[in-house]
């Protein structure tokens, strides 16, 4: 990851995404899950930005959240 957001910044970005995009976080996470099998963080961010016309910060927050949740599932 090229730049790390603070936890507070990450949560603030996530809170704004539904208003800015018209889609809930759960919808975006499902989109990433169903999207192409990209491995690198920045590849996923770039795909979201270009395929779905998202701002860099929003795309980065979605991918970061996706990775956090995926890691949490592995711990269970």
- The model's pLDDT over 33-71, given as tens digits with 9 standing for 90+, comes to 999 999 999 999 999 999 999 999 999 999 999 999 999
Per-residue three-class SS string for 16-54 = HHHHHHCCCHHHHHHHHHHCCCCCCHHHHHHHHHHHHCC
pTM for this predicted structure: 0.89
């Amino acid at each position: 990851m090229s730049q790390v957001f603070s936890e507070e910044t990450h949560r603030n970005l996530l809170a704004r995404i539904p208003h800015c995009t018209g889609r809930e976080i759960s919808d975006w996470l499902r989109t990433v899950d169903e999207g192409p099998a990209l491995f690198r963080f920045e590849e996923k961010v770039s795909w979201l930005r270009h395929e779905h016309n998202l701002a860099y910060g929003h795309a980065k927050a979605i991918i970061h959240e996706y990775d956090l949740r995926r890691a949490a599932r592995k711990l269970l």
